[in-house]
């Protein structure tokens, strides 16, 4: 328990910047966060999801996850379900960790991430894949995660 608590405290202030410059510590931090998430055992949960990018603006989405897979999404302000096409692009917490892994493996020009103190999931994940390409950056924001 002491080790897990230490990991959570360490994650509370985690901010990863510039994957290309010092990837090993950042990968270790992400691995520690994933361990906390995995240890939580959460497979059924819901959360508020936002994708911030050079794309049409969109209201936050309430995402429902069952058995680790996104099964529903509804706009927070209107409670209207998202389209099937949009639903297919929504990310679970595991999917966010996969995006972070990809940013480290490629490597992305910049990857910044913060983690939830209790469960270890990414609360903000910003990726700039290529400094030479304008407007391909994306930030995923996760808040108000509640186990079901």
Count up the domains in the chain and report the number.
1
Please determine, for residue 124, whether its predicted confidence score (pLDDT) is greater than 80. yes
Please determine, for residue 15, whether its predicted confidence score (pLDDT) is greater than 70. no
Contact residues for 141 (Cβ-Cβ < 8 A; gap 6+): 48, 49, 50, 51, 52, 123, 124
Write the CATH number for 99. 2.50.20
Tell me the C-alpha distance between 126 and 51, whole Å: 10
Range of the domain at 34: 2-147
pLDDT digits (tens, 9 = 90+) for 54-113: 677 789 999 999 999 999 999 999 999 999 999 999 999 999 998 888 777 677 667 778
Question: Could you identify the residue written with the tokens 């379900």?
Answer: 81
Tell me the C-alpha distance between 126 and 112, whole Å: 5
Question: Could you identify the residue written with the tokens 């994933």?
Answer: 34
More confident residue, 139 or 119: 119
Ramachandran assignment for 41, one of left (phi > 0), alpha (psi -120 to 50 degrees), beta (any other): left
pLDDT digits (tens, 9 = 90+) for 33-60: 999 999 999 999 999 999 886 677 789 9
What is the model's pTM? 0.76
pLDDT, position 102 = 78
């Amino acid at each position: 328990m002491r080790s897990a608590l230490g990991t959570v405290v360490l994650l509370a202030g985690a901010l990863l910047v510039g994957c290309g410059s010092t990837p090993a510590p950042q990968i270790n931090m992400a691995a520690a966060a994933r361990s906390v998430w995995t240890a939580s055992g959460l497979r059924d949960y819901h959360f508020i999801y936002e994708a911030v990018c050079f794309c049409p603006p969109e209201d936050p989405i309430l995402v429902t996850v069952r058995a680790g897979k996104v099964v529903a999404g509804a706009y927070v302000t209107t409670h209207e379900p998202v389209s099937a096409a949009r639903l297919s692009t929504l990310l679970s917490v595991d999917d966010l960790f996969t995006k972070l892994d990809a940013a480290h493996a490629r490597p992305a020009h910049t990857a910044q991430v913060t983690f939830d103190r209790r469960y270890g999931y990414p609360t903000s994940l910003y990726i700039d894949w290529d400094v030479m390409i304008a407007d391909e950056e994306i930030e995923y924001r996760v808040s108000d995660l509640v186990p079901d």
